[in-house]
Amino acid sequence: MRAPRDIIKHVSVETAKARRKCYRSKQHHIAKGQACVVIKEGSFDGSKNYCVACALDIFDAADQRL
């Protein structure tokens, strides 16, 4: 039997190696050493970083959709 399909392969949690900007809010910054959620877009090679507070809102919205 085949393994189940991974539908969240473009989402990961990383520890910032340098300061990053939160894509959702320009006032939010991700400091070096802090955890952040990274979403890689399939249409281009870049990725979008989200701070923990914004990531929780994204996860809550996804939970509602499911």
- Predicted confidence (pLDDT) per residue in 10-33, tens digit: 889 999 999 999 999 989 999 999
Of 15, 64, 11, nearest to 38 by C-alpha is: 11
Looking at residue 50, its pLDDT comes to 96
Amino acid at 26: K
DSSP assignment of 32-63, as one string? Answer: TT-EEEEEE-TTSS-EEEE-HHHHHHHHHHHH
pTM for this entry: 0.80
Where is pLDDT greater, at 39 or 8? 39
Supply the pLDDT for residue 3.
79
Give pLDDT, residue 27.
94
